[in-house]
Amino acid sequence: MGRGLFVGLVTLDLIYLVEDVPNRNQKQVALDYGVAAGGPATNAAVTFGYLGNEAQVLGGLGSHPIRELILADVQSWGVSIVDLQPDRTEPPPTSSILVTRSTGERAVVSLNAVQSQISPGAVPPDVLGGVEVVLIDGHQMGVSEAIARQAKAQQIPLVVDGGSWKPEFERVLPYADFVICSANFRPPGKESIPAVLEYLEDLGIAHCAVTQGEQPIVYRTLGESGKMAVSAVQTVDTLGAGDVFHGAFCHFCLQSGFTEALAQAAEVASRACTAFGTRSWMRQ
């Protein structure tokens, strides 16, 4: 069993399965629904915990009653949250998500952490004690930079979730051991996957990869490039698949080399796409 710290966004996700995304001024009855804690770091932590590890989320939660729904979900999977904003009275960010039944594609309306950035001074001094891997999702950049510096100093592997480019990501990336991006990750002026991988390598990052849904993963490790096929599955819901990938990678990178951990994480993420919502695949 490993111990991981997951730094970033904590939300409440309201997830609806629909035939189609509604048009303007149209009402629609959902086919199914789910409620779960969300955010890239939070979903990754739940996956890491599900795979038999000890997972802790570092983020802002606050005192609003919505916190109890979030805690009930993550704690049911053995995940704890270190709340860096315990006195915050505003509700945590809430996401409304529509998943189209025929394709598994999702449409998301959410509020990220831009309006609730946390001072690095709120981070407990001993938060990295016993931690074996750290993941950062880029939604709390000041806190993330502080944690990244500490992880580097303590030689704790640092994984960066590059789901999409976020302002000031360059403050964190140079400390990373592993960067796993989606095809939407585009640093300024970098408009192709080879350019993105070259950008990351130039920052001194030894291992990086770009996932492309059902298309092959493109990676670069210690100067060598390659592609890795992804298993074909009957897709029901792609929501959170990237988060699952990152959480699973954190698990497998403690046991395997980079490319093997990528392949194993891809298998877990593919399985997550075969069920509706971000949690039901773990109950199958």
Q: What pLDDT, on the 0 to 100 scale, is given for residue 114?
A: 64
> Do the Cβ atoms of 255 and 9 come closer than 8 Å?
no
Q: Where are the domains of the chain?
A: 3-11+40-92+113-283
Of 248, 238, 243, 235, the residue nearest 277 (C-alpha):
238
Look up the CATH architecture of domain 3-11+40-92+113-283: 3-Layer(aba) Sandwich (3.40)
pLDDT in tens, the chain (284 residues): 899 999 999 999 999 999 999 999 999 999 999 999 999 999 999 999 999 999 999 999 999 999 999 999 999 999 999 999 999 999 999 999 999 999 999 899 987 666 678 999 999 999 999 999 999 999 999 999 999 999 999 999 999 999 889 889 999 999 999 999 999 999 999 999 999 999 999 999 999 999 998 999 999 999 899 999 999 999 999 999 999 999 999 999 999 999 999 999 999 999 999 999 999 999 87
pTM: 0.95
Burial class (CB in 10 A: 0-12, 13-18, 19+), 166: middle
Q: What pLDDT, on the 0 to 100 scale, is given for residue 115?
A: 67
Q: What pLDDT, on the 0 to 100 scale, is given for residue 116?
A: 72
Q: What pLDDT, on the 0 to 100 scale, is given for residue 163?
A: 87
Q: What pLDDT, on the 0 to 100 scale, is given for residue 164?
A: 87
Counting every residue, how long is the chain?
284
Q: Residues near 264 by Cβ (< 8 Å), separated by ≥ 6?
A: 248, 252, 256
Nearest-10 Cα torsion for 239, 9, 135, 235: 0
Q: What pLDDT, on the 0 to 100 scale, is given for residue 167?
A: 87
Q: Classify each residue of 190-209 as buried b or exposed e, where b means 16 or more C-beta atoms within 10 Å of its C-beta.
A: beebeebbebbbeeebebbb
